[in-house]
Amino acid sequence: MGQPPQTIPTAATFDGHHPPSPEIIDKCVHCGFCLPVCPTYVLWNEEMDSPRGRIYLMKLASEGAATMTPQWVSHFDTCLGCMACMTACPSGVDYGKLIEATRAQIERQHPRSPGEKLHRRFIFAIFTRPARLRLIRWPLLFYQKSGFQSLIRGVGLLKLFPKRLQAMEALMPTLGPNEHVAEVTPAQGVKRRRVGLLLGCVQREFFPQVNAATARVLAAEGCEVVAPKEQPCCGALMVHAGEENGALELARKTIDVFERANVEIVVTNAAGCGSNVKEYGHLLRDDPNYAARAKVFAAKCKDITEVLIDLPPRATRNPLKLRVAFHDSCHLQHAQGVRSQPRQLLSNIPGLELAEIPESAICCGSAGIYNLVQPNAANALGDRKAQLIAPLNAEVVATGNPGCLLQLQSSLARNGKPTRVVHTVEILDASIQGKQLPL
């Protein structure tokens, strides 16, 4: 266990444990270039729900001119943490560090209602524990396969339940067989790399086929794939929600596990996890035992599409006659700067036609636990995205994050355009295996 944060009282509203950096705040020149890509500004046209407005609110609080009223907090609760503002900002304002620090301050200082606390605790108790997610697979499978789900949805019974429960039910993935990834998958042919695979939590239990496809594609490209069974949640959901202590503990355990695995690269296939582990150096900067190791670990982490682009293709790509709309996950495009790699990998598949979704910089509304804690805004963004995808007439939508996958699937169905949404690596795997993607 790490030490609890040292809090030094200051004149400001923020406590002294890593308040949002005044240097970063002062880099904002209020130009407003970030406003058109901010999903909440696009929805509500409210200055205080824009990046510029939020930075101004942070500045007021850091000078002691604003307190953490419920209204002040609400402007940060509605932020998706999508980082579109960072990509758009010509002044290089690192909004990611600002919102992470602000959220940690809010969780330490702002008293949430008992209902809200319970809801957040429930989310973290389940979604950051693969073993617990595994346990709920069975009741979920029964709910889906017994016809109970269709019945409940059909008679509109869900409308009687709280909005948050409705949001969770709507996002539920259709569960398939539980494909396991072996602890070691040997490379095919001459070994080119020994890589670790970060399995994720939701990905591991609800989308095991994505991890299985990732291991197969890497092996086909000459990588020995090590997927340590004891790896914990990487802490992404906790970091993005301001739960700092829990996140630190999980980061330390993740580093321990992958150091023991002795791998050259740690491959991520969930954009939210990838952006989190790449920031471990910053997260663990105060820990004398882990600060340097965290930097080394973070430098080894790469998204699956970055790894594959760096390896000249060895496995044959078989033709796939498929029209695919590619959705950029925010934590891949804005937080990790990965945009061209998945497009290039998909375009190299013979017969595959790639369609671009308009407004690609704007979030689909998934954003970690956002669609669970802010269902109205998340649904509005999901509807907007579904309406942009529908005219493309794509047979499949591809993306690089399980949260986006769930959000898009549910939004497309709600908008009368049910479309299969898959991870990019599932399409590559189908092509390498010479299989048509099941539609």
Structure tokens at 342: 């998945």
d(CA 333, CA 340): 9
Q: Is 408 in the site for ligand SF4 (CB under 6 A)?
A: no
Residues 23-62 that bind ligand SF4 (CB under 6 A): 28-34, 38-40, 51-52, 54-55
**Binds ligand SF4 (CB under 6 A): choice among 73, 93, 271, 398:** 93
Q: Which one, 216 or 385, has the nearer CB to ligand SF4? A: 385
Q: Is 22 in the site for ligand SF4 (CB under 6 A)?
A: no
Q: Is 73 in the site for ligand SF4 (CB under 6 A)?
A: no
Radius of gyration of the chain (CA): 21
Q: Which residues pair with 62 in a beta bridge?
A: none
**Binds ligand SF4 (CB under 6 A): choice among 84, 219, 237, 301:** 84
Structure tokens at 99: 């919102």
Q: Is 111 exposed, middle or buried (0-12, 13-18, 19+ CB in 10 A)?
A: exposed
Q: Which one, 59 or 134, has the nearer CB to ligand SF4? A: 59
Q: Which one, 89 or 283, has the nearer CB to ligand SF4? A: 89
Q: Is 91 in the site for ligand SF4 (CB under 6 A)?
A: yes
One-letter amino acid of 328: D
d(CA 358, CA 392): 10
Residues 193-252 that bind ligand SF4 (CB under 6 A): none
**Binds ligand SF4 (CB under 6 A): choice among 12, 24, 61, 82:** 82
Q: Is 79 in the site for ligand SF4 (CB under 6 A)?
A: yes
Supply the minimum distance, in Å, between the C-beta of residue 93 and ligand SF4: 4
d(CA 38, CA 207): 29
- Residues in contact with ligand SF4, counted by CB under 6 A, come to a total of 26
Output the furthest CA–CA distance in the chain (Å, rounded).
Answer: 64
Q: Which one, 62 or 214, has the nearer CB to ligand SF4? A: 62
How do beta strands 184-185 and 223-226 pair? antiparallel
Calculate the CA dihedral of residues 382, 385, 387, 388 and round it to 10 degrees.
180
Q: Are 199 and 231 in contact (CB under 8 A)?
A: yes
Supply the minimum distance, in Å, between the C-beta of residue 29 and ligand SF4: 5
352-356, strands of its sheet edge to edge: 352-356, 322-326, 396-399, 420-423
**Binds ligand SF4 (CB under 6 A): choice among 80, 167, 251, 428:** 80
Question: What are phi and psi for residue 233, nearest 5 degrees?
Answer: -60, 145
Q: Are 7 and 15 in contact (CB under 8 A)?
A: yes
Q: Is 85 in the site for ligand SF4 (CB under 6 A)?
A: yes
d(CA 412, CA 311): 34
Q: How far is CA 413 from CA 254, 343, 379, 417, 435, in A?
A: 36, 25, 12, 5, 26
Question: What are phi and psi for residue 436, nearest 5 degrees?
Answer: -80, 145
Only one of the segments 74-82, 117-125, 194-202, 342-350 lies at the binding site for ligand SF4 (rule: CB under 6 A); that segment is 74-82
Supply the minimum distance, in Å, between the C-beta of residue 122 and ligand SF4: 24
Q: Which one, 33 or 143, has the nearer CB to ligand SF4? A: 33
Q: Are 85 and 95 in contact (CB under 8 A)?
A: yes
Only one of the segments 87-95, 181-189, 394-402, 412-420 lies at the binding site for ligand SF4 (rule: CB under 6 A); that segment is 87-95
**Binds ligand SF4 (CB under 6 A): choice among 12, 58, 61, 81:** 81
Supply the minimum distance, in Å, between the C-beta of residue 42 and ligand SF4: 9
Q: Which one, 40 or 203, has the nearer CB to ligand SF4? A: 40
Q: Which one, 32 or 70, has the nearer CB to ligand SF4? A: 32
**Binds ligand SF4 (CB under 6 A): choice among 14, 56, 72, 95:** 95
Q: Is 368 in the site for ligand SF4 (CB under 6 A)?
A: no
Q: Which residues bind ligand SF4 (CB under 6 A)?
A: 28-34, 38-40, 51-52, 54-55, 79-85, 88-89, 91, 93, 95
